[in-house]
Chain A
Amino acid sequence: MSKLLMPLIMLYALYVQFHGDYGPGGGFQAGVIFAAGIILYTLIFGLEEARAVVRPWVLRIGLSLGVLIFAGTGVATMLLGGNFLDYNLLAQHAQHGQHMGILIVEFGVLLTVASGLLTIFYVFAGRGKRRRDVEE
């Protein structure tokens, strides 16, 4: 059943991410839904399986990369001669620049939120497991 649900949850996360310009949603909601999907996977297949699918070091890179993408977009607009996070300069037309800027920045938000939640989850779940191993 959850094998059936997993791709749907991931697809829904992507939909929420990229439809954020038109409907409710955006990077934060998408990241949270993505993380919840992986957590569901962990509940059913176990922590080690999940760690093999989404490795902890990937999460750490994603965690920092998200913030870097967001802040980097700001720095890029500054290098183009504007203010910090002034997306107008990212493309020929100011509106296109805004569209691009929002897409890039929302991707950064998705990365950090999903990785952050999963990192915290892995750490907590890992603690419970370690304790049980010791008791056994």
Chain B
Amino acid sequence: MAEFLIETIGLPPWLSWTAIAGLSAFLILNVIAGGALVFIWAERKIAARIQDRLGPTRTGGRFGWLQSLADGIKLLAKEDLMPDGADVLLFRIAPYVSFCASFCAFIALPFAFDVVGQRLNVGVFFVVAVLGLEVFGVILAGYASASKWSLFGAMREAAQVVSYEVPLGMCVVVPVMLAGSMDLVTIGEKQAGWASNWFIFHDPFTFIIFWVYYTCALASVNRAPFDLAEAESELVAGFHTEYSRLRWSFFFMAEYGSMFLVSALAAILFLGGWNGPVPISQLLGLSDGMAVDAPYVLRLLGCLNLFVKATAGVLVMMWIRWTLPRLRIDQVMTTCLKYCTPIAAVMFAGVMLWQLLLPGGLVAGSFRNAAGVREGWLEQSNSGELDSEGSMSGTIPSRRIVEVSR
């Protein structure tokens, strides 16, 4: 897009790059903040329905849809408190550390083909790495608050997130192995076509590993039943006990941002990303399956597709939160070490064997044609990789890496 500004409008390069970077940052910020507004309202309504009550009904007319905005104004008007013994600097910056981690992960997250802040060759890895930094803000908050509740909450969170990164990483590697690339755009494009092309339906192992991923993602964003860090029945409010006003709301923007992020990542890795279950545009002849030439309207529809899938993921997280009781810390660790990690490892080996023995899938040829059309483009887009690898095909090398290194 910056090239477009430079070549067509003739802006100087430094101004174009600044403008595009600012625009991307602005859009991502709005996805997080707007998402938080909508999701907090949705959470209230869903919680109310599950508990057989109405939730907000009056603010903003029907359905209480302005409730989040009213909450925001209330938060702005509150007093900014800080405990006497707090470490002032760390107490102040902790919420921003959390929020920045959540925000940075969005930079590499594609919303549709090439609708991405910065397309990274190692997109998946970057997102998972940056998401792990969010816990640092929580630890700082717990430490700097000079409160026992906060400290306990932060320590639980640290233990939990550090442990769950292991099975989460294993789950994320599976789609990377199937797509032969760590580039999120490539992974999404490999699942184009009918819903049977989605990696979740690739084989039985990926179907199971999707649920393991979802469980680990739930734990890594600190949502119930893994919300031990805030555990209001034991720790008052956990790591954010001492926080009020906007600082407190930054933690929640980070939390809702991360919820959306891991759901969008699940959608891209397993649920076809921005590709709908039926390739409507291809059937109607609007596009020939080559995403590069697709009109911008289709990319917008792709964004819509991804938003629907990610929102569904977030809503399921809320459903789980208001349905399941909170786990104890030993149960959390048991779930991670005795269930998620071994299941992920076995499924990983299973996917590997499946790729070796049934590379075309059970229904090869019947449903996979739509993706086959795009293969040509993908190979082309990976041509840099191909050139450096001589005669090898695009997908095999990465797959082989994973197989041998495990």
- Whether chains A and B associate is no
Binding site for A on B (CB under 8 A): none
